[in-house]
Structure 1
Amino acid sequence: MRRLWLLFAQVATICLALLLIVSTLKPEWVNKFSSFGKSAHLTSSTIPMLEAPINTVAPGSYRDAAKRAMPSVVNIFTTKEVKRAKNPLYNDPLFRRFFGQNPNPPPEKQSSLGSGVIVSANGYVITNNHVVNSADEIDVVLTDGRKAIAKVVGTDPETDLALIKIDLPDLPAITLGHIEKASVGDVVLAIGNPFGVGQTITMGIISALARNHLDINTFENFIQTDAAINPGNSGGALIDTNGNLIGINSAIFSQNGGSLGIGFAIPVSTVKSVMDGIMANGHVIRGWIGVEPQDVTPELAENFGVKENAGTLIAGVIRSGPADRAGVKPGDILVKVNDTQVTDRVAMMNLIAQLPPDQKAKLTFLRKGKTLTLDVLIGTRQPQPVSTTNDDDEDGAK
Structure 2
Amino acid sequence: MMHKLNWKQCRAYVGAAALALGTTLSLMPAAPVMAQVRSLPDFTDLVETVGPSVVNIRTVEKVKPGAAGNADEQMLEFFRRFGIPVPPNMPRAPRPDRSQPDEDQPRGVGSGFILTSDGLVMTNAHVVEGADEVLVTLTDKREFKARIIGSDKRTDVAVVKIEATGLPAVKIGDISRLKVGEWVMAIGSPFGLENTVTAGIVSAKQRDTGDYLPFIQTDVAINPGNSGGPLINMRGEVVGINSQIYSRSGGFQGISFAIPIDEATRVADQLRSTGRVTRGKIGVQIDQVSKDVAESIGLGKPQGALVRGVEAGSPAEKGGVEAGDIITKFEGKTIDKAMDLPRMVGNVKPGTKATVTVFRRGSTRDLSVVIGEVEAEKPVRRSQAPEAKPPMAGPAQAMGLMVSELPDALKKELKLKGGVKVDASEGAAARAGLREGDVILAIANTEISNVKDFETALAKNEKGKAINVLFRRSEWTQYALIRPTR
Please, what TM-score do these two structures have when normalized by structure 1? 0.72
Would you say the 8 A contact 1:296–1:308 is kept in 2?
Answer: no
Alpha-carbon separation, structure 2, partners of 1:312 and 1:249: 29
Taking the aligned partners of 1:242 and 1:331, their CA distance within structure 2 comes to 47
Asked if residue 280 in structure 1 is aligned to residue 276 in structure 2, the reply is no
User: 1:76 aligned to 33, 57, 63, which one?
Assistant: 57
Contact map agreement 2:56 2:109 (CA 8 A) in 1:
yes
Alignment partner for residue 119 of structure 2, among 96, 120, 123?
Answer: 123
Query: Distance between the aligned counterparts of 1:208 and 1:60, measured in 2?
Result: 20
> Aligned-pair distance for 1:337?
1.0
Cα deviation for residue 125 of structure 1 reads 0.3
- Corresponding residue number in structure 1 for 2:284: 291
Match of 2:133 in 1: 137
Residue among 205, 210, 223 paired with 1:209: 205
CA distance in 2 between partners of 1:129 and 1:60 (Å)? 32
For residue 104 of structure 1, report the CA deviation from its aligned partner. Answer: 6.0
**1:71 aligned partner, one-letter code:** P
Specify whether residues 378 and 123 from structure 1 end up closer, same or farther in structure 2 by C-alpha distance, changes over 3 A only.
Answer: same
Q: Give the corresponding residue for 1:174.
A: 170
CA contact (8 A) 1:82 1:110 kept: no
Contact 1:69/1:243, CA 8 A, preserved across alignment: yes
Partner of 2:43: 62
- The answer on whether the counterparts of 2:58 and 2:106 sit within 8 Å (CA) in structure 1 is no
For residue 165 of structure 1, the aligned residue among 149, 152, 161 is: 161
- Work out whether residues 287 and 352 of structure 1, in 8 Å CA contact, stay in contact via their aligned partners in 2: yes
* 1:362-373 alignment runs, 5 A limit: 362-373=355-366
Following superposition, the deviation at residue 294 of structure 1 comes to 0.8
RMSD (Å) for aligned C-alpha atoms: 2.6
Q: What SS is found at the alignment partner of 1:276?
A: helix
* 1:316 matches 2:309: yes
Deviation at 1:313, TM superposition (A): 0.6
1:184-208: per-residue Cα shift (whole Å, max 9, x none)? 1111111100111222001111111
1:372 deviation in Å? 2.7
2:239 corresponds to: 246
Report what 2:322 is aligned to: 329
Q: How far 1:59 sits from its partner (Å)?
A: 7.5
In terms of mean alpha carbon deviation, does 112-121 or 346-355 score higher? 346-355
Give the distance between the partners of 1:282 and 1:334, measured in 2 at CA.
Answer: 32
CA contact (8 A) 1:64 1:242 kept: no
Q: Distance in 1 between matches of 2:127 and 2:301?
A: 38
Which residue type is aligned with residue 372 of structure 2? G
Larger radius of gyration: 1
Mapped pair 1:374 → 2:355: no
Deviations 1:316-345 (A, max 9, x none): 111111111112121111111121111111
Shift of 1:165: 0.5
> Which TM-score applies when normalising by structure 2?
0.60
Summarize the Cα distance change of 1:326–1:236 in structure 2 as closer, same or farther, 3 Å threshold. same
Equivalent in the alignment of 1:255: 248
Amino acid at match of 1:112: G
Report the counterpart of residue 349 of structure 2 in structure 1.
Answer: 356
Q: In structure 1, the residue corresponding to 2:236 is in which secondary structure? A: coil
Point out the structure with the larger helix share.
1
Tell me, in whole angstroms, the C-alpha distance in 1 between the residues paired with 2:334 and 2:164: 47
Match of residue 188 from structure 1: 184
Amino acid at match of 2:112: G
Q: More deviation in 338-347 or 123-132? A: 338-347
Q: Output the CA distance in 2 between the equivalents of 1:290 and 1:150.
A: 38
Partner Cα separation in structure 2 for residue 245 and residue 113 of structure 1: 21
Q: Residue 184 of structure 2: SS of its match in structure 1?
A: strand
Unaligned segments of structure 2, at least 5 residues = 1-38, 69-94, 379-475, 477-486
> Which of these residues, 219, 224, 227, is aligned with residue 231 of structure 1?
224
Deviation at 1:154, TM superposition (A): 1.1
Instruction: Tell me which residue corresponds to 1:147.
Output: 143
Look up the SS of the partner of 2:339 in the other structure. helix
Structure 1: unaligned runs, 5 residues or longer: 1-57, 86-102, 386-393
Q: Give the match's secondary structure for 2:171.
A: coil
Change (3 A) 1:250 1:383: farther
Task: Give the % identical residues.
Answer: 41
Kept in 2, the 8 Å contact 1:311–1:343? The answer is yes
SS of equivalent to 1:352: helix
Q: State the 1:163 CA deviation.
A: 0.5
- State the AA in 1 paired with 2:160: I
